[in-house]
Amino acid sequence: MTHIGEDPSREGLSRTPERVERAWRELTQGMRQSVDEVVGQGVFAEDCSEMVLVKDIEFYSLCEHHLLPFFGRVHVAYIPDGKIIGLSKIPRIVDVFARRLQVQERMTVDIAHALQRILSPKGVGVVAEARHLCMMMRGVQKQSSAAMTSCLLGSFQSDSKTRSEFLALVRSLHHG
């Protein structure tokens, strides 16, 4: 704090280091969690082959380049092949990767590959859209810009009909 001209002994700042430490532990809890841990017993045998989509999953993360927040929504879909996952587990998987020092591109891919590993589905699709405070508060200072990333695996990549259905559902159902 002294490097930016503040007095760390000032009343309003005297307990700030402890508060920051607690906040950072919470904001980076995904670094101390594994996907297997949060999924637990949440995978079930099921003869289902229709697309499962969980949309508008809010996330908050920290850019590893500037340690500033980026936040937005993730849309996750998969086509089962004998196994399904409890719907509440998908946002938990998102949080495991979001609650780390991160870049949006890697987070998107990591979510998709985690579902692929756990379920061995016919396909996985993940789209993430986010606002980055490192672009809004500093640097180019663009307030309305959003970054979009996607990762398509299996039938979402190889079958244009599946890919189109997923992207159309994401567009039509989005409430952001």
- Catalytic residue set: 63-66, 104, 132, 134
- Residue pair 78/123 in contact by the 8 Å Cβ criterion: yes
How far is it, in rounded angstroms, from Cα 29 to Cα 99? 6
Per the listing, tokens 């890919």 go with: 163
How far is C-alpha 41 from the chain's CA centre?
Answer: 21
